[in-house]
Amino acid sequence: MKLEQLRSFEAIARVGHFTRAAEQLFLAQPSLSRQIAALEADLGMALFHRGPSGATLTNAGELLLPIARRMLGDAQTAREQMNELAGLRRGRIRLGAPPTLCVSLVADVLASFRSAHPGVELHITEGGSRFLVEALNESALDLALVVTRGTDPAVQGTELIPLLTEELVVVSAAGSASPEELTLEELARIPQVAFNRSYDLRMATEAAFSASGLEPVIAVEGAEMDAVLRFVERGLGVAVVPAMVVIGRPGLRSARLVNPSLSRTVNLARRNDIGPSAAAAAMQEFIFSTVDRLAAPGTDLARLVTPTARH
Which residues are CB-neighbours of 89 under 8 A, at least 6 positions away?
A: 119
Task: Please state whether beta strands 143-148 and 92-97 pair in parallel, antiparallel, or not at all (unpaired).
Answer: parallel
pLDDT of residue 83: 64
Minimum mean pLDDT range among 76-80, 84-88, 194-198, 282-286: 84-88
Going along the chain from its start, the domains and CATH numbers come out as 3-81 (1.10.10.10), 86-163+265-306 (3.40.190.10), 165-263 (3.40.190.290)
Distance CA 232, CA 226 (A): 10
Say if residue 220 is exposed, middle or buried (CB neighbours under 10 Å; 0-12, 13-18, 19+). middle
Distance CA 180, CA 113 (A): 35
What would the mean pLDDT of 135-155 be, rounded to a whole number?
83
Concatenating the DSSP letter of every residue in 214-273 gives ----EEEEEE-HHHHHHHHHTTS-BEEEEGGGGTT-TTEEEEEEESS--EEEEEEEEESS
Query: In the chain, how long is the greatest CA-to-CA distance?
Result: 71
Looking at the predicted structure, is the pLDDT value of residue 188 above 90? yes
Confidence category of residue 286, pLDDT binned at 50, 70, 90: very high
Looking at the predicted structure, is the pLDDT value of residue 192 above 70? yes
Task: Please state whether beta strands 218-223 and 192-195 pair in parallel, antiparallel, or not at all (unpaired).
Answer: parallel
Segment 81-137, tens digit of pLDDT: 666 655 667 778 999 999 889 988 999 999 999 998 888 889 999 998 889 999 998
pLDDT of residue 85: 52
More confident residue, 183 or 201: 183
What would the mean pLDDT of 220-248 be, rounded to a whole number?
91
Looking at the predicted structure, is the pLDDT value of residue 284 above 90? yes
Distance CA 66, CA 268 (A): 22
For 282, the 3-state DSSP assignment is helix
More confident residue, 85 or 22: 22
Q: Which residues pair with 270 in a beta bridge?
A: 159
Distance CA 83, CA 238 (A): 48
More confident residue, 157 or 41: 41
